[in-house]
Amino acid sequence: MKARLKKLYDWVDERVQLEDLVEFMGKKYVPVHSHSVWYYFGGVSLFLFIIQVVTGILLLMYYKGSESLAFESIQFLMSKVAFGWLIRSIHSWAANLFILAAMIHMFSVYFTKAYRKPREITWLTGMLMFFLALGFGFSGYLLPWNELAFFATKVGTDIVGVVPLIGKPLMILLRGGEEVTGATLSRFFGLHVAIMPGIFTVFLTIHLLLVQRQGMSEPLGVEANAGEEMRTMPFFPNFLLRDLLLWLIVLNLLAMLAVFFPWELGRKADPFAPAPAGIKPEWYFMFMFQTLKYIPAQVLFIDGEVLGIMLFGIAGLLWMLVPFWDRRSSRGERNRVINYIGIFAVIYIIVFTILGWAS
Amino acid sequence: MKAMLLAFVGLISHGSLAAASAQVENQCLTCHETLGDKPSELFKHDIHFKKGISCAGCHGGDSTSDDMEVAMNPKAGFIGVPKGDDISRMCAKCHSSAAIMVKQYNSILPRNQIETLWESVHGKLSTTGKERIAQCTTCHDAHGIVSTKDPASPVYPLNVTKTCAKCHSDAAFMRAYNPALPVDQLDKYRTSVHGIRNKEGDVKVAECASCHGSHDIRAASDVKSKVYATNLPVTCASCHANRAYMKGYRLPIDQFGKFSKSVHGKALLEKHDLGAPSCNDCHGNHGAVPPGVESISKVCGICHALNADLFSSSPHKKAFDRRKLPECETCHGYHETVAATDELLGVSPDAVCSRCHSPSKNPKGYLVARTMRQLIDSLEAAESRAAVLVNEAEQKGMEISEARFKLRDVRQARLESRTMVHSFDEEKFRAVIEKGLGVTSAVSAEASDAIHEYYFRRWGLGVATLIITVLAVSVFLLIRRIERRQQQKK
């Protein structure tokens, strides 16, 4: 068996010269310290994204992106296609776990200040991918064309519409008209399966290349204490196998969720029906939705909703540009303010998400 | 002196001081009488004249003056003949006034006649917009107005039909206002029990105003109309459920009570289902008569067309005709027609078939009835079993909406079989039942598959979890082995 594998390796090596790559991988090390566990969440996010791509392609074989057929095609997939229910449930659950893993990954990078020079581009591409992931979630939610999705999209795109200047045209662009209709479904379908995956792939390639090129960042505190040489482990095979172990655990979790909590389809959307009670956005939008509910209708001379959206917009932008204004971390100095901001953000998101679900 | 003499003559001739003094002062009448015109002749019989109201009461001017220039002087308020809506307004001046009607004339007449008239279909439906269709004088006349209890009144029960028909039987006139409205109401009415008795002089039977109202007549399609489908049973019952009023007519008075409890009455009066029949749908409205033995299936067949057709071509048709049994009514009753359930079918004591069929009497029909009941019971049982399986699959979180939808077809087959009962043909009935049983089998199979799939998924998950866990443990052991080797190398 070993001889055969060696023969195959030699055959490929003879043609594409694998030696350089093997040498590069052999020299690649991952720092080992008390915060090393956070390194795995990037890998978990990547694994879940791959699951999304694979299950998404399988779903595409049956899904029909039109107002009259979308719901029925999912219904058919779930009741008649062998393992169709499993693929859809895994796609839905993996989408949520993907955003959760990406969020944990983002916060771990933030708190360990791994975004600091020279990894500004890695952070930027990561943030852009995170926003795209939210976009995937928002657009994918509408695709089954069920009652909850329809009204959640209506509310969501209404919020986009209140953004000053560009809001209204952006809302019409998203909806394909004044209202959420079959045109919106077509657009969201296009965005979900073609436009966003294309852009995402570009950012992902840059992100992964930079991670490989620059290696894993060492947290500031760990770096400062290092009197002697930092403990490391080889990326290949030690880190990669650990990654694989975690991926298998996540896969197990996904299978259990899909079987014990199959993703419901609900009732077909009826644009003329009144909105059902208790319309809520997906959990990752909940803290923003809940905040908008608490802001008074008018704050000084600004409309409350506009103010909320502007504040979230500015906060998101500042968060994305943190490598450029957190100069102290880049210089290798401690910056407690960054930690306080991060802790505030985490607590805020958790509290407001819980409030949103409880209300 | 001359005036005193005239007053004395008046007192004798009219027997009323007021009328006498009015006549004395009513110079208009004096002159117009000499002219021999019809209004002045009619006015002498008018209730207003008898109450002492002069011509000036409606026409204005000074009726006490024998000088035409003074009596008909516009400055003295003379308006001549009131036109259009001014006619009704002129009547309402007194008839809406409590000070005049109650205090002066001690009248108990309602004082909202003009309001109700103007709210009515006659008040609202105008083609010109200038004046309403009907004024007070349209029905009550202008100069010979008498009490509605006076047989001479155009709105007296025996005359009112003719009064209404003046317009309502005039196709050319009615076309201008409501071309869709039939103009044969009076003709139909004359064929009805009400119409016949009315012609014979019975003032108690229903005429136009009894059902439609008088001043407050509304279109039959108006929900406030007394003849609107949901109001009509109460309107009919106002006479037909009144024991004292109906005394002497040898009719039962429990129709409304029975109808209210019937499947039709509940649908109409409780659910406000306008598709359900009201009194007139079976008895006719203007031509109201009780449907006879011959026509009862035709009446029911207006709505229950398929049932009536099937019955007409069934062996029961001849048998019923021979025994002079009313068709639908024999099994379903009338007025108190309850919802038809499967219990009506079969040979049990509650079943209607057993009234005529027994093992010794009409045994063939007995066997057919028993078989039909068994068949419909088997379909119902199969439907229940299928529904239980669908519910179980749904509770297990399985997507089974298609099977749930197909259950409707079973219900449809059951309804169809209830219709097919009226053919009293076992083969036809069996075909419908078997169609339903076929669907229940398919639904049950689909639901059972979904339940099996549910357990298969759990088993599948167990196997998949086991494989993934073995893989994960293997990877874990591999890491340990590699790292132990790496340690040893160091």
For residue A144, the chain B residues in CB contact (below 8 A) are none
Contact B399 A259 (CB under 8 A): no
Contact B468 A237 (CB under 8 A): no
What mean pLDDT is predicted for residues B476-483?
Answer: 95
Give the pLDDT confidence of B321-379 residue by residue, as tens digits.
Answer: 898 888 888 999 889 888 888 999 999 988 999 988 998 888 889 999 999 999 999 99
User: Quick one: which of B259, B294, B297 has its CA closest to B278?
Assistant: B259
Please say whether the beta carbons of B154 and B140 come within 8 A. Answer: yes
**Does residue B22 have a pLDDT over 80?**
no
Contact A241 B478 (CB under 8 A): yes
Specify the pLDDT at position B298.
Answer: 82
Q: Which residues of chain A have pLDDT under 50?
A: 224
Which residue do the tokens 């002129």 mark?
B90
What mean pLDDT is predicted for residues B74-98?
Answer: 89
Comparing A188 with B125, which gets the higher pLDDT? A188
Please list the alpha-helical segments (H only) found in B247-360: 255-261, 263-265, 279-283, 296-301, 305-312, 315-323, 327-332
Please say whether the beta carbons of A123 and A323 come within 8 A. Answer: yes
Q: Choosing among A259, A263, A264, A267, which should be mutated to test the B contact, i.e. which has the most B CBs within 10 A?
A: A259
User: How do A232-234 and A298-299 pair as beta strands?
Assistant: unpaired
C-alpha B297/C-alpha B23 separation (Å) is: 65
**Widest pairwise Cα distance in chain A:** 77
For residue A75, the chain B residues in CB contact (below 8 A) are 399, 401-402
Which residue do the tokens 């360990």 mark?
A112
Q: What is the pTM of this model?
A: 0.68
Specify the pLDDT at position A147.
Answer: 92
Contact B399 A245 (CB under 8 A): no
Specify the pLDDT at position A225.
Answer: 56
B31 band by pLDDT with thresholds 50, 70 and 90: confident
Specify the pLDDT at position B12.
Answer: 36
C-alpha B86/C-alpha B93 separation (Å) is: 10
Name residue A234's beta-bridge partners. Answer: A29
What's chain B's length in residues? 490
B18 band by pLDDT with thresholds 50, 70 and 90: very low
User: Quick one: which of B1, B20, B18 has its CA closest to B9?
Assistant: B20
**Does residue B488 have a pLDDT over 70?**
yes
Contact B482 A255 (CB under 8 A): no
What mean pLDDT is predicted for residues B287-314?
Answer: 84
**Widest pairwise Cα distance in chain B:** 157
User: Quick one: which of B154, B145, B155, B136 has its CA closest to B47?
Assistant: B145
List the single residue in A248, A259, A260 with the smallest CB-CB distance to B475.
A248
Specify the pLDDT at position B465.
Answer: 95
Q: How far is B459 from chain A (nearest CA, A)?
A: 10
C-alpha A138/C-alpha B334 separation (Å) is: 62
C-alpha A21/C-alpha A19 separation (Å) is: 5
**Does residue B260 have a pLDDT over 80?**
yes
Contact A237 B482 (CB under 8 A): yes
C-alpha B383/C-alpha B444 separation (Å) is: 9
**Does residue B6 have a pLDDT over 60?**
no
Comparing B3 with A219, which gets the higher pLDDT? A219
Give the pLDDT confidence of A147-190 residue by residue, as tens digits.
Answer: 989 999 999 999 999 888 899 999 999 999 999 999 999 999 99
